Amino acid sequence: MGPLEEIIKRAQAGEARTSGIGGVNNGRLKSNPNDKPRDKIERSQLTRIGLLGCGGFGTVELWEHKKTKETYALKALSKGYIVKTGMQESVMNEKNILMMTNSPFIIRLWETYNGEKSLYFLLEPALGGELYATYNRRGLHGSEKHAKFYVAGVIEGFQHMHDRRIIYRDLKPENLLLNDLGQLKITDMG
């Protein structure tokens, strides 16, 4: 488990290359207990780069901060669809859970925005895509070393959630994303 231990150590030391760990400090999100508080990221500070994906609730787009050039995934959730399907509590649960977590194995929530027709979550981008698609595209089925690596990431993420009395009920390869380094990120907390 060498690479996994390295990810955990870098995250604990505040040296993670990607912003995959989240927490709360005086109401402001921050990535690591050792990090300095970040300024609020306003939507006006972001530029749209392109579409990452579409789902039942809405879209996920890639956005870039105009000044820092950091990239983010902006998940737009249609208010009409949320109300029509009775998912208000689920959406609020997702936001609250993401704000409670502080793990390199759980997708990071940076900000939330309330628009006229949509709610928005500004998230860490998982540019490696879904684990499911990666396994199919690269033919990783049956690879013991890959299975161990990704299962260990899920276990670490679950342990972090269970320590906070959070139960995750939607484990499937489509809800396991990869960052640009191939590191696992649990998503879809709703």
Catalytic residue, candidates 39, 170, 180, 188: 170
173 — pLDDT class (breaks 50, 70, 90): confident
CA distances from 132 to 41, 74, 156, 178 (A): 31, 21, 19, 10
Percent of the chain with pLDDT over 70: 81
**Catalytic annotation present for 180:** no
Lowest mean pLDDT among 50-64, 75-89, 148-162: 50-64
- Confidence at residue 63, expressed as pLDDT on a 0 to 100 scale: 97
| Residue corresponding to tokens 């500004």 | 122
102 — pLDDT class (breaks 50, 70, 90): confident
Distance between CA atoms of residues 106 and 154, nearest Å? 9
Question: Does the structure show a pLDDT above 50 at 29?
Answer: no
Question: Does the structure show a pLDDT above 70 at 30?
Answer: no
Distance between CA atoms of residues 121 and 112, nearest Å? 5
The phi-psi region of residue 181 (left if phi > 0; otherwise alpha if psi is between -120 and 50; otherwise beta) is alpha
- Confidence at residue 112, expressed as pLDDT on a 0 to 100 scale: 96
Q: Which backbone phi and psi does 100 adopt, to 5 degrees?
A: -85, -20
Question: Please, are residues 61 and 50 in contact by the beta-carbon 8 Å criterion?
Answer: yes
Instruction: Give the chain's domains with CATH numbers.
Output: 2-186 (1.10.510.10)
Question: Does the structure show a pLDDT above 50 at 16?
Answer: no
